[in-house]
Structure 1
């Protein structure tokens, strides 16, 4: 492993507001991000990103709040490889490591770099972990900044076990495979007390909720947390039997927004 050198840049993990892609009037960036995070973001001119378009939109919001070091069109914005979007980049492999090191080349010449995803904290439920690994291998300082993380916001609002939990990502879309996966996760949750956390693409949220209600045991607790940190955020937590007995529990859930699903005992 390379030894850190003072003339190398820093990799900053920059969280972004959770409203990307939603039909909302963009609020000032300081609505969701601390001034200290905005101050760092405003000084950066090199970015590694999940989506260049959303990063430019984010920078415009930073510019409107605290200004930026270079015009948006003059910022150096590089997208992560497409494979990182489709398959994730959490499993080390030679090609991904090489690509990540190449993305970090400006930091070896003293430039600080910001890593961002479309919304929330990069490298959590989003790509970016390969870049973080490469930064450590290159001896770069890695600094996560403070901002919204939907998984943790949902966990705190769920009433479920926050001492032991696992984020399991997406479950299969095919009904039989999805049912088996949910039953396996529920068995683990009921045996160990470990809260299971999963997500879905917004247009499939309703189908996932129905699958959960159909598959989980009546005494399992299910929480659904939508649009976390946003004006229309709603969290509901109840036993599956209560969800079924009172369908109104789900009626006011904005399931067309990003949602986090949690279950356990």
Structure 2
């Protein structure tokens, strides 16, 4: 029997795991000793938090970061041929969505290994759920350009696309650049465009608000170094 690849969600911050994900995640983590992760330290911390009795020395950690060689990662799932299950852990939220884990999932399909996604918090979907915008038609655009001029053009393009297709446009920013993004949003977008900002989702400091750009010009939320999702709809 071939082992499976389990896509294991993690918390979006310092939240108790079982407050935001089902018991099934805990059960799977208890059973798996082989993990593909972005950061070994945070992965071990999460595993210890959700299954305190699990012996850390028994864990086999395979790194999936910018230093991992393609030839090396292509062998990460070979252990499945021995009937051993492997867990893919995201750094935050669900694996393979705005996350490098997609390469491992693709590899699993190529090797005919069963992929099992587990339920857990996705900041993108949770922001969309709570935005009040079109949840029937939306697009995730990842990071926008860093250059101010390029970013302004990208925002205008997304605004037009939103209007033409009646489609909510979702994007993210590196937390320490959130405030610059907020300023650019207010400067570039039409006053009547709706903007949702969702920060620190699932944490005690969670902040989710949707208003027109015109109304946002009178607000200054604290977004500094906070993981945030931005959604616009014209």
Which bin holds the TM-score, normalised by the shorter protein?
over 0.9
Q: Deviations over 1:143-197 (max 9, x none)?
A: 0001000000000111111011110000111111111111111111111111110
Q: What is the match of residue 177 of structure 1?
A: 150
Distance 1:100 1:39 in 2: 26
Change (3 A) 1:135 1:261: same
User: How do 1:58-69 residues align onto structure 2 when only pairs under 5 Å count?
Assistant: 58-64=46-52, 67-68=53-54
Change (3 A) 1:48 1:165: same
Residue 95 of structure 2 is aligned to residue 122 of structure 1: yes
1:80 pairs with one of 55, 64, 69: 64
User: How do 1:208-247 residues align onto structure 2 when only pairs under 5 Å count?
Assistant: 208-244=181-217, 246-247=218-219
Distance 2:105 2:15 in 1: 29
Q: What is the match of residue 36 of structure 1?
A: 24
Distance 1:161 1:239 in 2: 15
- Secondary structure (helix, strand or coil) at the match of 1:140 reads coil
State the 1:231 CA deviation: 1.3
Contact 1:117 1:126 in 2 (8 A): yes
State the 1:129 CA deviation: 0.9
What do you get for the CA RMSD once the two structures are aligned? 1.6
State the 1:212 CA deviation: 0.7
Aligned length: 234
1:192 pairs with one of 151, 154, 165: 165
Question: TM-score under structure 1 normalisation?
Answer: 0.84
Q: What is the match of residue 109 of structure 1?
A: 82
Contact 1:164 1:195 in 2 (8 A): yes
**Over 6 Å off, 4+ runs:** none
Residue 50 of structure 2 is aligned to residue 56 of structure 1: no
- Secondary structure (helix, strand or coil) at the match of 1:217 reads coil
State the 1:29 CA deviation: 2.1
Question: TM-score under structure 2 normalisation?
Answer: 0.95
Q: Which runs of 5+ in 1 are unaligned?
A: 1-6, 20-25, 85-94
Contact 1:225 1:261 in 2 (8 A): yes
Contact 2:15 2:202 in 1 (8 A): no
Residue 33 of structure 2 is aligned to residue 45 of structure 1: yes
Contact 1:234 1:254 in 2 (8 A): no
Residue 11 of structure 2 is aligned to residue 17 of structure 1: yes
Q: Which runs of 5+ in 2 are unaligned?
A: none
